[in-house]
Amino acid sequence: MSFYIGHEAPKLWRRICAETTTEINLLAENWKYILGGLIFQYIHGLGARGVHYLHRPGPTLQDAGYFLLPELGSDNAYISETVFTTIFLSFVLWTFHPFIFKTKKIYTVLIWCRVLAFLVACQFLRMMTFYSTQLPGPNYHCREGSKLATLPRPDSVLEVLLLNFPRGLLYGCGDLIFSSHMIFSLVFVRTYQKYGTRRFIKQCAWLAVIAQSFLIVASRKHYTVDVVVAWYTVNLVVFFVDKKLPELPDRTSAASLLPVSKDSKTKEENHKLLNGNADPEDWRPRTQINGMIMEDGNAVHVEAAMNGV
């Protein structure tokens, strides 16, 4: 066991170093898109915080999902968040799997550029809808009688800009149509559906999103319309935005993305490491001439080798 670990550890370290070098080069080329997407995440949080000041509690609206699904109660509302957290963390870890595993199809920086583009488009539409009409929040802390249902006027601009993090994000009201949890979950699952390799995980991911849809309604965090609108809006946005974005490069022929090296053999080794083809020590030039395999200057006849001669 210790021999295996000692043999594989240097390979893993070289793979991590080669992948890190490539991802840094990609980040240097695409940092504006990553930064823009992250800034919009803050803007989206600022918009959700702002609509909370406009929220006015009232009677919970009539909702078909509330008739069909029993209410989980405030003590069991964590179940919905647990499913969402599992989907979120699983996707984030998967986007970084090229640093560890040989079998990989994506570049981490490029996949996040794509994901952030989907999120920004969906969140922009979401902000337009919940600012157009403020509905009385169905969540427990948004109902009449709760101190958190209506925010007092802020004492300073800084109070608004800081978002009262993280309490302000966890106990928001008024940002209903459509569900932000569904935006993230659907974007993540659709991205894995396209670039993931495990069919079983894809099936489990879709089942998790469906289960989360019911749990969101059962925990009374959103109305059913918030979930329904998210299902067709996010899928349509991802479908059309995906057509406008350049396709991710094929890792099997992505030598142009590798760090520039004066040594062609080093570049070939990095290429094999990044794409999981072979380990560097197994790299040996081989040519075949008239049934003879030339390996390190030694000729071995194919037929003779097959006959055991």
Q: Could you confirm whether 44 is annotated as catalytic?
A: no
The answer on pLDDT for 187 being more than 90 is: yes
User: Annotated catalytic residue: which of 44, 52, 55, 222?
Assistant: 222
Least confident of 23-37, 127-141, 227-241, 247-261: 247-261
| Chain segment 261-277, per-residue pLDDT in tens | 444 444 555 555 555 55
| Chain segment 11-43, per-residue pLDDT in tens | 888 888 888 999 999 999 999 999 999 999 999
Is 45 or 309 the better-scoring residue by pLDDT? 45
The answer on pLDDT for 253 being more than 80 is: no
Cα-Cα end-to-end distance for the chain = 37
Question: pTM for the complete prediction?
Answer: 0.80
- Which one, of 26, 67, 44, lies nearest residue 178 by Cα? 44
User: Annotated catalytic residue: which of 44, 52, 55, 181?
Assistant: 181
The answer on pLDDT for 282 being more than 50 is: no
| 42 Cβ contact list (under 8 Å, min separation 6) | none
Residue-level pLDDT at 37 = 96
The domain locations on the chain are 8-252
- Which one, of 104, 116, 113, lies nearest residue 27 by Cα? 113
For 31, 85, 146, 181, 276, the CA distances from 38, given in Å and listed in that order, are 10, 19, 32, 17, 31
> 295 forms bridges with which residues in the sheet?
286, 298
pLDDT confidence tier of residue 121, bands split at 50, 70 and 90: very high
Q: What residue type is assigned to position 169 of the chain?
A: L
The answer on pLDDT for 180 being more than 70 is: yes
User: Annotated catalytic residue: which of 44, 52, 175, 226?
Assistant: 226
Q: How deeply is 129 buried, as exposed, middle or buried, from its count of CB atoms within 10 A (0-12, 13-18, 19+)?
A: middle
| 222 Cβ contact list (under 8 Å, min separation 6) | 138, 176, 179, 216
Q: Could you confirm whether 52 is annotated as catalytic?
A: no
Residue-level pLDDT at 273 = 53
Rounded CA gap, 188 and 186, in Å?
A: 5
Q: What element of type H or E holds 43?
A: helix 2-54
Q: Could you confirm whether 226 is annotated as catalytic?
A: yes
Residue-level pLDDT at 281 = 45
- Which one, of 177, 247, 187, 235, lies nearest residue 37 by Cα? 187
